[in-house]
Amino acid sequence: MAQLEEISEISPMSVAEDMIGKHFYEVESDVRVDMNSVRSICAASENANPLFWNDKFAQEVVGACIAPPSSVAAWLRPHFWSPSPNADARALKLHFDLKEVFQVPEGIMVDNELTLYAPVKVGEQLRTYQVLRSVSEEKRVKLGIGRFWVIDVVIENESGERCAVDRYTGLGYRKDSDGE
C-alpha cells in the first residue's frame, strides 16, 4: 500500500488534507422559517415553552419570534418534492465525498454535537456550508479498518451571523469481509 501511495501522483490522504478548512456545498435553503412550522415542531414534542406560542412574550424575552434552537437543521432541508431539480441535495455530502476519496464502501456517523449561536428568527432564510476539519490516519476499529473525519455543517442567517455549527464525526471503513 505504501508503495502504491508513493507512485501515485496524489494520494487519497493528500486529497483529503487539501480539502481541510475549505468551504464546500454552500447552499441557501429553499424554505423560510415560519410560525406554523415552529408550532408543528413544538406540538410533536408537546413543548409548551411560551417563546414559541406567545408572540408578545417572545418579543419581550428575545426581541423576536424564534424557532426552537434544536430545530435549526430542519430549516435547511429541501421540500419533499419540488418542480426545480436539485442535482444532489444529499445532507453531509462531504462525508460521501470522503468515502469516495478513500474508496471505502461503508460509512457511519459516530458522534454529533450541535453548538448554537444567534437565534433562528421567524421569517429568516438560512444558508449553510460544510467544512472538513480533520481526517485521521487509518485505524483498526471494531467494524473493520477505516478513518475518522470531522465535518462541520455551518449554518448562518441572511445577515451572515452564525446560527449553529453541527459537528459530525464520521467513520469511513472497509469491513474485514470486504477484502481489497
Binding positions for another protein, rule: CB under 8 A? 31, 37, 40-51, 57, 61-63, 68-71, 73-75, 77, 80, 111-119, 161
Rounded least distance, CB 47 to another protein, Å: 4
Identity of residue 18: D
Burial call 5-24: b when 16+ CB within 10 Å, e when fewer: eeeeeeebeeebeebeeeee
Closer by beta carbon to another protein, 42 or else 132: 42
Rounded least distance, CB 37 to another protein, Å: 7
Closer by beta carbon to another protein, 15 or else 73: 73
State the alpha helices, DSSP H only, in the chain.
Answer: 2-7, 12-19, 35-44, 55-61, 93-102
As a whole number of Å, the end-to-end CA separation of the chain is 11
Rounded least distance, CB 68 to another protein, Å: 6
Collapsing DSSP states into helix, strand and coil, what is residue 26?
strand
Closer by beta carbon to another protein, 19 or else 151: 151
Give residue 25's region: left, alpha or beta (phi > 0; psi -120 to 50): left
Rounded least distance, CB 122 to another protein, Å: 15
Closer by beta carbon to another protein, 19 or else 126: 126
Rounded least distance, CB 73 to another protein, Å: 7
Nearest to 39 by CA among 31, 29, 49: 49
Closer by beta carbon to another protein, 11 or else 37: 37
